[in-house]
Amino acid sequence: MDDSATASPLFLPVQPLRSGMLQVSELHTLHWEECGNPDGLPVVFLHGGPGGGISPVHRQFFHPQHYRIILFDQRGAGKSTPLGEWRDNTTALLIEDIETLRTMLGIEQWLVFGGSWGSTLALAYGQAHPERCLGFILRGIFLCTQQEIDWFLYGMAAFFPEAHDAFIASIPPEERGDLLHAYQRRLFGDDAEVSLQAARAWSRYEGSCLFLKPRPEMVDMFSDDAVALGIGRLEAHYFLHRGFFDDDQLIRDIDRIRHLPAIIVQGRYDAVCPPAAAWRLHQAWPQAKLQWIADAGHAALEPGTASALVAATEQFRLQRSFD
């Protein structure tokens, strides 16, 4: 691990062994990368958002000498093209993409690691293809229910009123009773500048609410056009369709993965994905280990959360080495 003065819980930075672009439809091409040990324990990293994309720091949750680390940008996110594209973009198609990538890389089974929307997609993928999963590490649980979507749009104002005021500032008062459709009209309209401004406002709102302690540099990062277009458009798109799930689907179908090991890491003061969702998941799946992080909000890189995620990847690695 990194023994520098910052005492980071993460492993040292690593460079990809290889990377590429994988065409998955006439419209979408995915950016992917492979890091670590090509003969190691396979793990797939599912980023948040939707639309958040991967970052080099995401490689550092895994011991590079022992893991074969697979990361990719989901449709419309990061370096995948086209950026922010919501057409031909559903949860079922994302699951197909994961399988296409797994098959291309010749991997039979892998550990599935996902946070926030990545936890949603991890559960959906696992329930669709349990035979391909070795287990799960899940962080900041989001079950994509209407209650959670409404919390994001309205409830976070109780904790971040100034961020919420900025979020609704460009929306006329008469439209604020239905913020999701107000943003839909702006994000997916014909005026590119209006769409970009709406995406910036949406993304900046989320970036303002991620951490227990303020991190202004993260708010600036979420304001970047490339980040904002992915997050603003795709989060709204998936919210409008409730993640393309049936009512409470991820809880209802938990029996499909109940037999697989899982660790859930949840910030006690997560304002973006409130802890009630993690608790609901644990109640439905008591075999999964739930670890509360007492001094954390939503972000994966808060010290307590990052430490717990690294400990979880180490636990899976060590267990597999003795199987």
Radius of gyration of the chain (CA): 19
- Residue 170, C-beta contacts closer than 8 angstroms, at least 6 positions apart: 186, 197, 198, 201
The catalytic residue among 73, 97, 253, 270 is 270
CA angle at residue 281 from 276 to 287, to 5 degrees? Answer: 135
Is residue 57 within 8 A of residue 15, CB to CB? The reply is no
How is residue 156 annotated by DSSP? G
d(CA 240, CA 235): 8
- Residue 267, C-beta contacts closer than 8 angstroms, at least 6 positions apart: 140, 212, 275, 293, 296, 297, 298, 299, 302, 304, 305
How many whole angstroms from its chain centre is CA 198?
A: 21
d(CA 104, CA 70): 12
The catalytic residue among 80, 116, 203, 307 is 116
270 catalytic, yes or no? Answer: yes
Phi, psi of 66 (to 5 degrees): -120, -15
Report the Cα–Cα distance between both ends of the chain, in Å, rounded.
24
Catalytic residues: 116, 270, 298
